[in-house]
Structure 1
Amino acid sequence: MDRRNWLRSSMVLALGARTAWGDTPPAAGPGIEVEETRIISYKAPLYHGWPTVAARANGELLLVFSGGRETHVCPFGRVELMRSQDGGKTWRWPQVIYDGPIDDRDAGVVETAKGTILITTFTSLAYEPVLKKAEAIAAGQPGAWDEKLLNEWRAVHNRISAEQRQAELGCWMLRSTDGGVNWSARYRVPVNSPHGPVSLTGGGLLYPGVALWEPDRKVGVCRSTDDGQSWEWLADIPTRPGDNHKEYHEMHAVEAANGTIVCHIRNHNKPNAGETLQSESTDGGKTWSVPRSIGVWGLPSHLLRLRDGRLLMSYGYRRAPFGNQVRVSEDHGKTWSAPATISGDGAGGDLGYPSTVERADGRLVTVWYERLKTAPEAQLRQAIWKFA
């Protein structure tokens, strides 16, 4: 099921946000001041989606995304990287890191304790039914594509054979040990999630996600003890009673100041449809609690531990007012505040996947993608903000 159908399902099934605290309402939302909101995409006619921003130890910001696209589902996606040396005030021209023969989607990025940069992506053939439908409509009929456009899709699609396209499906990682000047060849990893793996205290790496193209589509956590060169399956994340684990999607995790690892899960089961669920581990990711509702309608979530020890979750909000919200936890993820709005002027549900970094001056930079009222295709948008 592609994201458009996920979105329709969540709109139909969402029953409103339930709280995880019984009759006790969540803490008040954090006071924030959004200082600047702007588009940061270059080559605006292209569709740019599903970004991740990360801060390096030297202060440089890295931003990866699926670029070169024509629309939400198409065969043209590629992994691109932009850099900022001034905290997001300006961004350098995008660098194409990977462009495979089929669609390369969601890009995640993290810097390890050793300074290695890891970029993640996954490949998809979700565009194939779209192309087949377009080819089935005769020229001149309602819904027929322009011949030039149809030929471009065919040309990309037919670069490799049907068998080769199937072999291209996978979850991938690329690695750089020189600050992103040179990159390894892509290599397979067991899972995917939009924002990629996270670093743990002590230098290890944890990657919660979904084994997208495996027959049983496992949901769980992988671990790397060699700086991201190899990954091993560490643990399944349990399925909540009554849920189907195949309706868990797009996870992200963070290590809280007390050592608890908090993992957020995009949920499309009927109970709490369209909400973010949460699972925790207190033993370094070896075992996990049964996912629970935290009372947050919106997804997917990106998690960040702030320098003061609080946790910050950033997530897309795909109903009016369309935009992006953040919440904080002051008790290592046990409870979450009411929301604060980063943006609320979206044109519709084709937006979100926000991620956030904290600058040295205490300001925060949140980046997301959004199909704007004033642009034909989705662009990268950024907010610089601070706690009031």
Structure 2
Amino acid sequence: MDQKISRTNDGVWSRRECLKTIAAFSLGAMASSRGVLSGASTASIESTRVVSWKPPLYHGWPTLTRRKNGELLLAFSGGRESHICPFGRLELMRSKDNGASWGWPQVIHDCAIDDRDAGVLETPQGSILLTNFTSLRYADDYEAAMKIPAGQPKAWDAVKRAEWKAAHERLTADERQREVGTWMWRSTDGGVTWSARYQVPCNSPHGPVALASGRLLYIGAALWADDRVVGTWESTDDGVTWQLLSRFTPRPTDQTKNYHELHGVECVSGKIIAQIRNHNTQNAHETLQSESTDGGKTWSIPHSIGVWGLPSHLLRLKDGRLLMSYGYRRAPYGNQARMSQDEGATWSDPITISDDGIRSDLGYPSTVECDDGTLVTVWYEVMKGSDLAQLRQARWRLTV
């Protein structure tokens, strides 16, 4: 269990460290090369704690990355009142000690509507890219609430009505529509200064991925376009511009519009794995997978890997194995990981990162590997005693 929040001398929220060993996987044979591989593995959770500042605010949809100099960057949507609201903003925190402590969050952007999701990547050239998307989804809740007279059941109190009204009316209806988009920020000085935001053609929660060649791929969905492409966009100029490289072909039973929140990783061989949050009837709420052997120009038909949970973040470890981290939004609520030793052909049984969640408003875990082999995973979670989600971190190890 996490310790009650307290402040240490350096201003970092601290948590009691807990040690939890996850049972070894049983070894078994697989009938399909595209299923779950039963493999022996053991992981130990060394500590779990909340790392977000300002508990009276809601924090959501983080991405964690590790720079070449060892610094950890954690991007997220902060400043929020709830899962859906007009107050979201793009924030960034840094850790210079592998997540033992975190600095004060820097607000990168706060537009007049909702800034949601946050991806972060250090490119092979050393630039830092941040991504998010903006949304007017909160306006439906606002307009419905304004129709309920004060004092009636489910009516908002006067303070909330006034705050949402003031936030919503900062812009005209046309101006609000022009704020909706998928965005990127770029820094070439380690995040000291940032470019103005610029439109990019797609979004995925954890942002683009880098290839060994120096190319960048953004595997995602064109959220607000009339033609909702789900595919791969390429940048050959360090993230300044992006061009459509390929589209995913759905399974015959699927509609592409029900593919969401993709992420990818390059294997040692050069093969690229992409995983997809699936909302089609077949394999609903599972993670689907597709592969490319030509640098993202073409992709296999998405297929089930037998993993219920979403969305997924992919990481290649130093030893070449792949790790997928994903939210598990049914009891026991939490976050899980799986390993692949064969470049995504098969995946291990689940490794439990956390399983003490109180409801499904959690997840979007992402993981980095430190020099000593420690893994650090961060996700967001509504915890007991508050509806305001916090950023929660686990430090853990694979022992086999």
TM-score, structure 2 as length reference? 0.91
1:113-192 residue pairs with structure 2 within 5 A?
A: 113-192=124-203
1:303-314 residue pairs with structure 2 within 5 A?
A: 303-314=314-325
RMSD: 1.3
Residue of structure 1 in register with 2:79 after alignment: 68
1:234 equivalent in alignment to 2:242: no
2-structure distance, mates of 1:208, 1:20: 30
1-structure distance, mates of 2:35, 2:309: 20
Q: Which amino acid aligns with 2:287?
A: T
Q: Which amino acid aligns with 2:301?
A: V
Residue of structure 1 in register with 2:358 after alignment: 347
1-structure distance, mates of 2:34, 2:237: 46
2-structure distance, mates of 1:30, 1:75: 44
Identity of aligned residues (%): 63
Residue 119 (structure 1) shift: 0.2
Structure 2 residue matching 1:107: 3-state secondary structure = strand
Q: Which amino acid aligns with 1:245?
A: T
2-structure distance, mates of 1:136, 1:240: 43
Which gives a bigger RCO, structure 1 or 2 (Cα 8 Å, sep 6+)?
Answer: 1
Contact 1:29/1:340 (<8 A) preserved: no
Structure 1 residue matching 2:159: 3-state secondary structure = helix
1:19-67 CA deviation, whole Å, 9 max, x = no partner? 9828986223631000000000100010000000000000000000000
2-structure distance, mates of 1:45, 1:145: 19
Residue of structure 1 in register with 2:295 after alignment: 284
Residue of structure 2 in register with 1:34 after alignment: 45
Structure 2 residue matching 1:319: 3-state secondary structure = coil
Cα distance, 1:25–1:56 mapped onto 2, change above 3 Å: closer
Q: Which amino acid aligns with 1:368?
A: W
Cα distance, 1:141–1:220 mapped onto 2, change above 3 Å: same
Cα distance, 1:371–1:180 mapped onto 2, change above 3 Å: same
Residue of structure 2 in register with 1:386 after alignment: 397
Q: Which amino acid aligns with 2:243?
A: E
Structure 2 residue matching 1:354: 3-state secondary structure = strand
1:273-331 CA deviation, whole Å, 9 max, x = no partner? 01000011000000000000000000000000000000000000001110000000000
Residue of structure 1 in register with 2:326 after alignment: 315
Match of 1:258 among 269, 277, 284: 269
Match of 2:346 among 335, 338, 341: 335
Match of 2:120 among 93, 101, 109: 109
1:40-95 CA deviation, whole Å, 9 max, x = no partner? 01000100000000000000000000000000000000000000000000000000
Structure 2 residue matching 1:106: 3-state secondary structure = strand
Structure 1 residue matching 2:117: 3-state secondary structure = coil
Residue of structure 1 in register with 2:65 after alignment: 54
Q: Which amino acid aligns with 1:158?
A: E
Contact 1:30/1:339 (<8 A) preserved: no
1-structure distance, mates of 2:215, 2:345: 24
Structure 1 residue matching 2:378: 3-state secondary structure = strand
2-structure distance, mates of 1:294, 1:114: 34
2-structure distance, mates of 1:206, 1:259: 13
1:194 equivalent in alignment to 2:169: no
2-structure distance, mates of 1:109, 1:27: 32
TM-score, structure 1 as length reference? 0.94
2-structure distance, mates of 1:58, 1:27: 36
1-structure distance, mates of 2:41, 2:337: 8
Contact 1:20/1:295 (<8 A) preserved: no
